Amino acid sequence: MRSNYASYFANGIGASATGEKLEAAEKFLKYVSSPEAMQIWLKVVGELPARKAVALTDDNVADPIYGPFLKGLAYAHTTQFVDEAGQRQTAVDMVNRVLINGDDPKASLDEAAKQEQAIIDAAAQ
């Protein structure tokens, strides 16, 4: 299975904003989500643009640094977190079992998958 990891964030306006502040917030949001702001954000901050038209320009895709990341988005998934600390712990322990205890990587991975599934199953109930 071909897969890649991606996480994302969204900007929003607080529900309690009114009047002048609401207008200013709308203006700001319109700007940060505009194609040119996204291109600047990619150049300066290094986070990938949400708009495909901005992200997948020939220039960006050919870039040696973020080109591969942009191509990877086509088959990327975002991890479903039901207990972020708990799920993170399974991954930390998985690596430590191999590095410290010298466990077989495959066995350690299987163990981690089992633990993670248990966390997800418990949350689904």
Partner 1 sequence: MSIASDSIKRAGPERTTVWDRFSIRTKRVIWAWTFLALPILFYGGIRFYPTFQAFWLSLTDWDLMRPAKFVGLANYQAMLADPVFWKVFQNTFAYLIIGTPLSLVISFAIAYYLDRVRFMHGFIRALYFLPFLTTAAAMGWVWRWFYQPVPIGVLNGFLSVFGLPQQTFLRSPDTALTSILMPAIWAGLGFQVIIFIAGLRAIPSTFYEAARIDGLGEWAIFRKITLPLLKPTTIFLVVFSSIGFLRIFDQVYNMTTNDPGGPLNSTKPLVLMIYQTAFSSYKMGYAAAQTVVLFTILLVVSLMQLWVLRKR
Sole residue written with tokens 């708009």:
51
Residues 91-120 close enough to bind partner 1 by CB under 8 A: 92-93, 96-97, 100-101
Nearest approach in angstroms of CB 18 to partner 1 is: 28
Judged by beta carbon, residue 22 or residue 107, the one nearer partner 1 is 107
Judged by beta carbon, residue 72 or residue 86, the one nearer partner 1 is 86
Task: Measure the CA angle with vertex 84, ends 78 and 87; round to 5°.
Answer: 90
Nearest approach in angstroms of CB 71 to partner 1 is: 32
84 vs 112: CA distance, rounded Å: 14
Judged by beta carbon, residue 7 or residue 101, the one nearer partner 1 is 101
- Find all residues with CB under 8 Å of 86, minimum gap 6, and list them: 119
Residue choice 64, 85, 102, 106 for contact with partner 1 (CB under 8 A): 85
Q: Is 34:106 a contact under the CB 8 Å cutoff?
A: no
- Find all residues with CB under 8 Å of 29, minimum gap 6, and list them: 11, 12, 13
Can you give the binding site for partner 1, defined by CB under 8 A? 83-86, 89, 92-93, 96-97, 100-101
